[in-house]
Chain A
């Protein structure tokens, strides 16, 4: 649904996007994860025909973005990083203008407003956008991007600046669009948790290059194994012995008051560990599963932590 080959963009001497290859399948939610200035927005703007690539090519919905920008625009919905709204228009005027420019009839536009009602604050739809809160604005911006039922949706940092409930609402909506309408979603984010929970596949971008790509689970597995952490007050030798005997545990690491069982699949190992400890009569203060996060992935591939990450 989205392809890019050696997609590159320079601003003067600044190589903002450095020869990126992308391939996003129909019905996929693709998360583009990277720190400030990594080049996320620049990629989005090239894919949605706002910015011309310096070199390389890209296609969206099987249409080349440089050769058929008009057709690409019919197929995509875009919510840019900053909600792109006119504060001196009402919510209804924004949606209506958007609908008209996408060739919809008035009856179709009213129908779409009804369908998009969960996103739009219907009480405020006839108020000027300038009076909206940040969260209302973002949701209206998302609604405006969806008026024409696009088959591909681009979201540039859709939840930056939202409070946790607002973020959850956007996640829910993105999942629903993807599940019920099969919409392909390309979203950028600085939030590890967002990429992790929402995206089927994640591309990590840093300094204009994709440094690693894969499903969140694959990526995390690639940087290290899961660890079952057991905190003990008493006899840690006994605990270590018991843990070592549990099937699936590859290695034991010991620290003061803490024994760690390293395993490929922590989820599967957790209950055998608990059962074994219980049978052996070990008294345990705390039993926890620690899995690698996307931040570990980022650290592993770039050597630095992802700023703004919240997980």
Chain B
């Protein structure tokens, strides 16, 4: 007789992989939630450029307004994308319990989802960037610039997922998760979405100064000028800072859902 098949811990990385594979398998079945994620940034890109290109001519921009708007479209495409609503459904139909009954590493349950989020937001950023090319945006930083552009956008997307995951795990309520998209608005609009920081005034300029998106946008936009490592570093710090806050919320929500019962 051959060795009997028995259970053993799979190991942390394999756990993350298994959770991610399952989430990625689901993506084609959840197109109804993926497609709007592409429609929104496309719409804003076209409208913003069409409506504001001439107005923006009055301000001093280092770069073309189309290039100025492309990072905004990326942020719109990736911010708030997550598997949080799928996670709530897992909690509701008991599949989350089934996962908890396996020896899977608890942290892998969230990290695996984020790996799949990273893949998805990267996939979403590509057509948006291609659209940018189509309307004439060019990268003086070359192919490497494009890669950095995509990776920074995707990292931001993943850093942000902590908020919807925290809400999903705390409430287990689909409506609460759906409402979490409201968080997107202050981040996405109280910043240099339409105008550079120098042209902004009053309280909005003040808020924008504390909004990490401001630095992220500056970093992304710098790639249309040339390699400005200071700008890129500030952008990365903004991503990491937000990531620490949001992921701390998410992982402590995970812990309290698992232990608190």
Residues in A lying within 8 Å of B, measured CB to CB: 48-52, 70, 73-76, 78, 80, 82-89, 93, 97-98, 100-104, 108, 111-112, 128, 144, 148-150
Contact = CB atoms under 8 A, between A and B. Distances in A.
Nearest to B25: A93
B102 to A, nearest CB: 4
B185 to A, nearest CB: 30
Given A86-B90, A86-B95, A93-B22, A48 B101 contact: yes
B122 to A, nearest CB: 22
A243 to B, nearest CB: 56
B10 interface: yes
Contacts of A50: 97, 100-101, 261
A80 to B, nearest CB: 6
B26 A88 contact: yes
Which residue, A52, A80, A84, has most C-beta atoms of chain B within 10 A?
Answer: A84
B104 A83 contact: no
A85 B95 contact: yes
Interface string B1-25: 0001111111100110010011001
B22 A73 contact: no
Interface in B160-179: none
B7 A89 contact: no
B99 interface: yes
Q: How large is the interface on B (under 10, 10 to 19, 20 to 34, 35 or more residues)?
A: 20 to 34
Given A98-B98, A112-B5, A89 B103 contact: no
Contacts of B18: 97, 100-101
Interface in B89-148: 89-90, 93-95, 97-104
B5 A149 contact: yes
A98 B102 contact: yes
Interface of B: 4-11, 14-15, 18, 21-22, 25-26, 29-30, 89-90, 93-95, 97-104, 259, 261
Given A70-B9, A97-B22, 8 more contacts: A50-B261, A74-B103, A84-B93, A86-B90, A89-B26, A93-B22, A101-B18, A103-B14
Contacts of B11: 103
Contacts of B94: 80, 82-85
Nearest to A102: B7
Given A74-B7, A74-B8, A74-B9, A101 B104 contact: yes
Which residue, A74, A97, A111, A149, has most C-beta atoms of chain B within 10 A?
Answer: A97
Given A52-B261, A93-B25, A78 B101 contact: yes
Given A73-B101, A93-B25, A148 B261 contact: no
Contacts of B22: 89, 93, 97
Contacts of A150: 7
A75 B102 CA distance: 10
A206 B259 CA distance: 27
A182 B112 CA distance: 36
A84 B93 CA distance: 6
A108 B4 CA distance: 10
A213 B110 CA distance: 43
Contacts of B103: 70, 73-74, 101-103
A150 B103 CA distance: 12
A108 B102 contact: no
Which residue, A51, A89, A93, A100, has most C-beta atoms of chain B within 10 A?
Answer: A100
Interface pairs A-B: 3 shortest CB-CB? A84-B94, A148-B7, A103-B8
Contacts of A75: 7
Given A50-B97, A102-B102, A149 B6 contact: yes
A82 B15 CA distance: 25
Nearest to A154: B101
Contacts of B15: 101
A97 B4 CA distance: 20
Contacts of B26: 88-89
Nearest to B261: A51
Contacts of A86: 89-90, 93, 95
A49 B101 contact: yes
A184 to B, nearest CB: 16
Given A89-B22, A108-B5, A52 B93 contact: no
Contacts of A98: 98, 102
Which residue, B15, B30, B102, has most C-beta atoms of chain A within 10 A?
Answer: B102
B5 A111 contact: yes
A104 B102 CA distance: 12
A24 to B, nearest CB: 19
A222 to B, nearest CB: 36
Which residue, B14, B30, B101, has most C-beta atoms of chain A within 10 A?
Answer: B101
Contacts of A48: 101
Nearest to B3: A108
Contact of B97 (A52, A74, A84, A108): A84
A111 B10 CA distance: 18
